[in-house]
Structure 1
Amino acid sequence: MIELNQTLTPSSQHAETVGIAQQLCQTLEDDIVKGKLPPGQRLEEPLLAKRFGVSRTPVREALQLLTATELAEKIPNRGVYVSLATPERLTAMFESMAELEGMCGRLAAKRMTSGERHNLEKIHHELAETVRLGDSDSYETLNRSFHNALYRGTHNDVLVDVTLSVRRRVAPFRRVQFQSLARLASSHEEHQGIVDAILRGDVKAAEDLLYGHIMAVHDISQDYLSSLRQSPPEPATAFSGTPA
C-alpha cells in the first residue's frame, strides 16, 4: 500500500501525486504485459484506489499515463479498458525506437567527452556484476542509466526529448526481456559491442549495433505477446471491473 505524506505543501503534494501515479502506471503496465489484466478488462478508479490505498487523483493520472502507452484505451462514456498493441503497432513502435537509438549512438560516438565515455564504461562494468548475480531488477535500473548516458552523449536536447518520449511507450515491452536471465547476458554482450564502437569513435558501428540491440528486444516482445494472446487470461482480480 502506498501511503501519502499528509504534511506536504501544495506544490510538493502535486509532485508526490505525479510520482505515485507513475508508480501505479508501471504496476498496471506490468500486470497487463504479464497477462494479469487481459484485453477488454475495465480499469475502475474506485477499485484501483482501494487496491493501492490512495485517492482517486493519482489513479486518474496513472490511467492517463497508461493510455499514452497504448496499453489502455479510454472509451467515451464507458471508461478505461485494457488494450494490447497489435503485432504491427508494436513493430512500428520498436522500429521508431531503434532508429532513434541508432541516431543517438552515432552522435554519441562522435561527441561524447572523455568523462562521458568513462562513465559509460563504468555503468557497463556495473551491469556485468548484476549479470553475474542474476539480479534482473538491478540490471533493469542500470540498463536505463546506460542508455541515458548514451542519450546525453549526443549533446542534442531535442533528440533526447524525442527518444525519451518514444522509450516511454515501449518501456513496458522492454521490461519483458528481463524476465530471462539468459537475456541479461546477451543484452550485456550487445552492450559490449556498443561501448567498444563508441570508445573507438566508430559512428557507423555504434548506430548499427544500437539499432540491432533494440530490434532484438522487439523480437523477444513479439514472441512473448504472441504466447500471451494464445494463453487463456488469468481470472479477473478484485480491483478490476467486468470485461467489456
Structure 2
Amino acid sequence: MSAPLRLSEQLREAIEEEVATGRLKPGTHLDEQELAERFGVSRTPIRETLSLLAGEGLVEIRPRRGAVVATLSPQRLVEMFEVMAELEAMCARLAARRAKDSELGRLQDLHTRCAQAAQAQDPDAYFYANEDFHQAIYAASHNDYLTEQAGALQRKLRPYRRLQLRVRNRMQRSLQEHAAVLESIRAAEPEQAALQLRNHVVVQGDRFADLLAEMRQFEESPVSP
C-alpha cells in the first residue's frame, strides 16, 4: 500500500490537474492567498506547492509578480516533445524485452479503455486512459530511473498532450498508433516498438501546426466554471 501523500504533494496534483484541464491557463497569476482560501489551507503549504511546481517547470516565479503558470514558446515545446519521444521510445524498447504477462494484460485493458473513450468521442476519458497507457509502458520497462524521468516530463507536457486530442480525428489516429505499439511490445520487437512510440509522441509538421492552432484557441477561450 502506498504512503499517503503530503499536503503539498496533494495540492501539487490538484493544481497540475487545473493546468492540464485549462482552468489555470498559461500566464495565469497564482495568488497564494486565493489558493489557500480555495483549498482551505494556510499559505505555507501553498508556498511549498508552488515551489514544487516551479521545480517541475509548470510554474515560473517572477520578480514582483510572484508565481504564474508557465508559458512555453513554440521552440521550447518542440524540444520537449522531441525529448519526450526519445524517452518513451526507450521505455517501449525495454518493455518489448521485459514486460511480464500481467503487464501486457494491463496494457490491453488500457487500450480497450482508450477505444471505448474514442468510440464515445469523449476526449477527457481518452486523455486519462491514454495517460495510464503510457505510464504502464514506462512501468513495463523495469527501469525505475527512466520511469521517473519520463513521468516528470510527461507532467510538464500534460496540458499540451491534452490539447492535441481536440484536433479532429486525433483520438482515432492515436488509438491506431497505440494498437501498433502494443502489438510490437507483445511480439517482443524492441526496435519496432521504439520506432512506433517515438512517432506517436513526437510533434512535427502538420501535427505541430494543429497544436499551435489549438493553443491559440485554448488561451483565448473562456474557462467553464
TM over 0.5: yes
Q: Which letter maps to 2:126?
A: Y
Aligned equivalent of 1:47, options 34, 52, 58: 34
Aligned CA distance change for structure 1 residues 232 and 148 (closer, same or farther; 3 Å): closer
* 1:201 aligns to 2:188 (yes or no): yes
CA contact (8 A) 1:68 1:169 kept: no
Q: Which letter maps to 1:44?
A: D
Residue-by-residue CA offset, 1:12-53 (whole Å, 9 max, x unaligned): 6x7244213320232145437xxx6453x5322113333444
* 1:211 aligns to 2:202 (yes or no): no
SS at match of 2:6: helix
Output the TM-score relative to the length of structure 2.
0.82
The higher relative CO (CA closer than 8 Å, separation ≥ 6) is in 1
Aligned equivalent of 1:153, options 140, 148, 158: 140
* 1:80 aligns to 2:71 (yes or no): no
Q: Which letter maps to 2:95?
A: A
Q: Which runs of 5+ in 2 are unaligned?
A: none
Deviation at 1:213, TM superposition (A): 0.6
Separation in structure 2 between the aligned mates of residue 156 and residue 27 of structure 1, nearest angstrom = 30
Aligned CA distance change for structure 1 residues 219 and 46 (closer, same or farther; 3 Å): farther
Q: Which letter maps to 1:23?
A: A
Separation in structure 1 between the aligned mates of residue 152 and residue 219 of structure 2, nearest angstrom = 32
Aligned CA distance change for structure 1 residues 29 and 108 (closer, same or farther; 3 Å): closer
Separation in structure 2 between the aligned mates of residue 63 and residue 219 of structure 1, nearest angstrom = 35
Higher CA-based Rg: 1
Q: Which letter maps to 2:106?
A: N
CA contact (8 A) 2:163 2:215 kept: no
Count of residue correspondences: 221
Aligned equivalent of 2:11, options 15, 20, 29: 20
Query: Bigger CA drift: 211-220 or 79-88?
Result: 211-220
Provide the residue aligned with 1:57 in structure 2: 44
Q: Which runs of 5+ in 1 are unaligned?
A: 1-10, 237-244
Q: What is the root-mean-square deviation in Å for CA atoms of aligned residues? A: 3.1
Output the TM-score relative to the length of structure 1.
0.76
CA contact (8 A) 1:120 1:195 kept: yes
Separation in structure 2 between the aligned mates of residue 227 and residue 97 of structure 1, nearest angstrom = 20
Q: Which letter maps to 1:26?
A: E
Deviation at 1:62, TM superposition (A): 3.8
Q: Which letter maps to 1:22?
A: E
Aligned CA distance change for structure 1 residues 22 and 126 (closer, same or farther; 3 Å): closer
Aligned equivalent of 1:182, options 143, 151, 169: 169
Query: Bigger CA drift: 167-176 or 76-85?
Result: 76-85
Aligned CA distance change for structure 1 residues 181 and 54 (closer, same or farther; 3 Å): farther
* 1:111 aligns to 2:98 (yes or no): yes
Residue-by-residue CA offset, 1:117-147 (whole Å, 9 max, x unaligned): 2221222122212222223222222212211
Aligned CA distance change for structure 1 residues 154 and 99 (closer, same or farther; 3 Å): same
% same residue: 35
Provide the residue aligned with 1:133 in structure 2: 120
Residue-by-residue CA offset, 1:85-111 (whole Å, 9 max, x unaligned): 111111111111100000111111111
